[in-house]
Structure 1
């Protein structure tokens, strides 16, 4: 019963951390099933995302520092969207006044929602890191992963080399979190894989409701290729590294070895 209670608490904190993504998915579903008047669908989605962001900050669910992080992710996501859409990787076929070079501005919020989840979960679960790599290693790796999303269209795709490098760099790194006053730990690389997999599931839901469209989904919806998990995995890593680095800059230091030794003895 204690384990089930802790699992429920963990699920509740995760659910509260996903408020922004849930609103986006709900908006995608509602605007797909019930066309809204006056404005095209993409413009309504942008308005809903802007309102949700305002509510999150106004209500205190997000801090101003977290808003800065989310804004950064919005810009990073838009830059990636502009490039990928114009390379034909996917498309936004519907009309919209808020489309720029074929990309609706609401799409940046889908990347921002990942950052929102990470920031919320970090604070709610009191996340700390153990054996975090040096700053220059983290920045270099995150930059290389992000650039590969662009350069692989013109040069060799090195995502698998980068994935192997991630395993090497973070082999000894742990993420430590708190649920109901109890501390738990997980290999950092495993957390990357889990978040990436669940985002792939979310991507299937999003494409089903017409958030965007892959070339093989033009005539009818089909499951997103499982290989996309690797892309989301790398994007999650970039997101996590940026958030973690900003937390380090704000003065949040990794915990000590003694804490991990204690956890090893007390983990259920």
Structure 2
């Protein structure tokens, strides 16, 4: 039980950025500030949170670089998906690009923030990591499938099978209260994807964004979105893992 409590605390500390976004979505639904659109207010809160986390050293500069990459990747994906009508941001805002509020990039960045924080706080290590070329190929294939499936066959199930094959021997080790545990990496992908889907339901309920079937009233996000988040989690984790691997090699040399 003590290890479980330590694990819960570590997870909670790693989720500070996502928690701030949830609270921002909820509070701005209730509280309005004159002349500042809701989306812009959420952006201001996200920027202030990022600065505070750096100043208090809850987040390192290296982690900020990783988060910035995810902010850009997420914003590009958001612009494309909104253009294709996959979802929308119906409220007004000054800080919007092609219909996408800039705070949306922070939602992807918060996933990266969680991964970086959890990696550090739980002392994550990986065994039997596959060749870099295979990891890079899988990451690119998953990311581009989010764009291409609107025009050609959706290969997400092929990518999932490929993920299992590539990482079948890979385990993640994490330390809690001086005890080390291990888990197949593929299972950790699925668990994180599931919890992000739960978070997505909370975010859409508070109007973070809106799917076409939620225009008249809020509905549960379709279960199929779990697979989408699973694939995005894989891309996120692989980028973080590769950057951690590169940094570790620099330290060793």
Q: TM-score, normalised by structure 1?
A: 0.92
Equivalent residue, structure 2, for 1:132: 129
Q: Report what 1:173 is aligned to.
A: 170
What is the aligned partner in structure 1 of residue 160 from structure 2? 163
Q: Could you say which residue in structure 2 is the equivalent of 1:97? A: 94
Corresponding residue for residue 59 of structure 1 = 56
Matched, 1:76 2:81: no
**Paired residue for 1:41?**
38
Equivalents in 1 of 2:228, 2:74: separation in Å?
13
Residue 18 of structure 1, aligned match among 5, 15, 24: 15
Q: Counterparts in 2 of 1:1-268, with a 5 A limit?
A: 4-251=1-248
Q: Within 2, Cα distance between the matches of 1:36 and 1:217? A: 26
Question: Secondary structure, in 3 states, of the residue corresponding to 1:251?
Answer: helix
Deviations 1:215-241 (A, max 9, x none): 000000000000000000000000000
Task: Tell me how many residue pairs correspond in the alignment.
Answer: 250
Q: Can you list the C-alpha shifts for 1:137-164, whole angstroms capped at 9, x where unaligned?
A: 1011000000000000011000000000
Moved over 3 A (4+): none
Give the drift of 1:252: 5.8
Secondary structure of the residue that 1:177 maps to in structure 2?
strand
Residue 34 of structure 1: how far off its partner (Å): 1.6
> How far apart, in 1, do the equivalents of 2:249 and 2:122 lie?
14
**SS of corresponding position for 1:185:** strand
SS in structure 2 of the partner of residue 81 of structure 1: helix
Distance across 2 between alignment mates of 1:36 and 1:144: 43
Report the Cα offset of residue 35 of structure 1. 1.8
Q: Structure 1 CA distance, aligned partners of 2:248 and 2:199? A: 33
Cα drift, residue 38 of structure 1: 2.1
- Structure 1 unaligned spans of 5+: 254-268
RMSD: 0.9
How does the TM-score come out when normalised to structure 2? 0.98
